[in-house]
Amino acid sequence: MTTSTAGARAGTKILEVADLSVSFVTESGNVSAVDHVTLDLAPGEIVGVVGESGCGKSVTAMSLAGLLPRSARVTGSVRLRGTELIGAPETSLRRVRGKEIAYIFQEPMTSLNPVLTVGRQIGEVLQVHERLSRKAVKARAIELLSLVGIPSAARRVDNYPHQLSGGMRQRVMIAMAVACNPTVLVADEPTTALDVTVQAGILEVLRDLRDRLGTSILIITHDLGVIADIADRVVVMYAGRVVERAPVTSLFARPQHQYTHGLLNASPTPGRHAGTDRLQEIPGLVPVLSKQPDACTFADRCPAASDTCRGSAPGLSALGSPDHLVACWHPVEAT
């Protein structure tokens, strides 16, 4: 676990997401994917978003810089340093992408171009936002490869993706993402395709970038080990909604939502290592969000559910510490 930076402690926010909702227009009607999600990120802070498959983590991440397909209907607010991005013109969003908010995804092999050297690919990113000479581009590419821990960067810069291991390719993706010094890095399952020791190295790179460049990082994961390893704060999502939001130590020590509690109980506990604490199955199925607008979406799987839970959806509120929020009618400490 990491400690919050001075910026995070000071309470200034670089990214503020409020009441973000996303639905998709499909042949079988509107599908709600994200429902009134609220989260924020301070300068130099690492926030983890965790939840089961299909709970809306990626859709939330993609909506930040307008990466969703046209079939998406997005409402709510995403403010980057106070500037609203929802509804912003495409030209403004293009400036934001890469330069302000950069992404790294799970599959480095499919994201990298197999016929271009990694140096050329980093160079292309650099030249979208900055005018540099060819020599300066190559020098910067080497610098970036060193920054993400690639040994012999001056030689590796001329390698093609297939000449690198999976972990090295993910490092190249990170180098491309941070090429323009983004304010916010969104890492969507950055270590999922990698084996455990390689994962630990990638998390180390992300932590190092935060420490050296002050980058704020939103990390999306299924893996509680990744959260425990790297995050300052955690957002737990379930069926499109945020069900709990807390500093990482507080969440692991005193989970308050019945869902979070179930996840942690089902997980092999402390001494967690990235890759070893994948979310375990909780009996039952994640519901289709649009079918339960006025209920707690976890009610059907919850051991503490009552008629209240089936009749109205709880909002996020603080029970004890003001920075530990939970959306539950029967939080764990009170049962």
Ligand X SMILES: Nc1ncnc2c1ncn2[C@@H]1O[C@H](COP(=O)(O)OP(=O)(O)OP(=O)(O)O)[C@@H](O)[C@H]1O
List residues near ligand X by CB under 6 A: 24, 26, 31, 33, 51, 53-59, 69, 71, 222
Least spacing, CB of residue 47 vs ligand X, in Å: 15
Least spacing, CB of residue 62 vs ligand X, in Å: 8
What's the number of CA atoms in the CB half-sphere (13 Å) around residue 3?
2
Please, which residue, 13 or 222, has the CB nearer to ligand X? 222
What's the number of CA atoms in the CB half-sphere (13 Å) around residue 71?
11
Least spacing, CB of residue 55 vs ligand X, in Å: 4
Please, which residue, 53 or 133, has the CB nearer to ligand X? 53
Please, which residue, 58 or 215, has the CB nearer to ligand X? 58
- Say if residues 175 and 205 touch (Cβ distance below 8 Å): no
Q: Can you point out the beta strands (E) in 154-238?
A: 184-188, 216-221, 233-238
Run of H or E including 22? strand 15-26
Least spacing, CB of residue 59 vs ligand X, in Å: 3
| Cβ-based neighbours of 301, under 8 Å, separated by 6 or more | 259, 262, 282, 283, 284, 285
Token look-up 């957002």 returns 235
Please, which residue, 6 or 25, has the CB nearer to ligand X? 25
The region that residue 236 occupies, defined by phi over 0 for left and psi between -120 and 50 for alpha, beta otherwise, is: beta
- Say if residues 5 and 42 touch (Cβ distance below 8 Å): yes
Please, which residue, 157 or 224, has the CB nearer to ligand X? 224
Q: Beta strand pairing status for 101-104 and 72-80?
A: unpaired
Least spacing, CB of residue 230 vs ligand X, in Å: 17
Least spacing, CB of residue 73 vs ligand X, in Å: 11
Please, which residue, 192 or 250, has the CB nearer to ligand X? 192
In DSSP notation, 112-157 reads S-TTS-HHHHHHHHHHHH----HHHHHHHHHHHHHHTT-TTHHHHT
Residue 327: name the closest of 280, 279, 259 by CA.
259
Please, which residue, 176 or 186, has the CB nearer to ligand X? 186
Cα separation, 289 vs 293, whole angstroms: 7
Please, which residue, 26 or 91, has the CB nearer to ligand X? 26
Q: Beta strand pairing status for 184-188 and 216-221?
A: parallel
Least spacing, CB of residue 291 vs ligand X, in Å: 12
Least spacing, CB of residue 61 vs ligand X, in Å: 8
